[in-house]
Structure 1
Amino acid sequence: MVDELPPRSRAARDAAERALMRVVHHYGGTPEFVLLGGLVPELLCTGSEFHHAGTIDVDMQVGFEIACGAVNAARLEQALRNVGFAP
């Protein structure tokens, strides 16, 4: 049986954003990855009267990190491990 995902909420979105900020902090410098998914609408539409449903995760496109060479890919992997993510 597949476990149910927690519901999308403001608290879940805030937790996902904090997780992203921890990864960026541990990455150091300016990351080359691209943020996608449920964190983006609020960043793009801050003045909107409509609110996004939220998110429970962080979606990133990391191809640029990998294309920039093993050093950046290893740097991203270490940042993810430092904040408690596992492969």
Structure 2
Amino acid sequence: MALVSAGPTIRLVIHGTSAVYLLATPDRPTSGPGPVYDERIHLAYLLALRGHRAAWLAAHLDIPRPAARQIVAYARPAPAPRPLADRAFGVTY
């Protein structure tokens, strides 16, 4: 079932099938092509936001490890670079 939503999406391969999955709660169901809502993917995203690792998500939610890694990477983007500091003058750029 396709769903209409303005929320974030991610393309995953689950059990050999590639699809775009919603990472947020859908607004309303609709027929036709579009992002797919899967409760396990949504839950994995929420748990990844709270610090769960990909291995834990894969084991407890029955999703493939590569998909769990993608979800964790999406939920926890790389930190911003630290600001440069001029130690001689104590100035932060």
TM-score normalised by L of structure 1: 0.31
TM-score normalised by L of structure 2: 0.29
Structure with the greater relative contact order (CA < 8 A, sep ≥ 6): 1 or 2?
Answer: 1
Point out the structure with the larger strand share: 2
Point out the structure with the larger helix share: 1
Larger Rg: 2
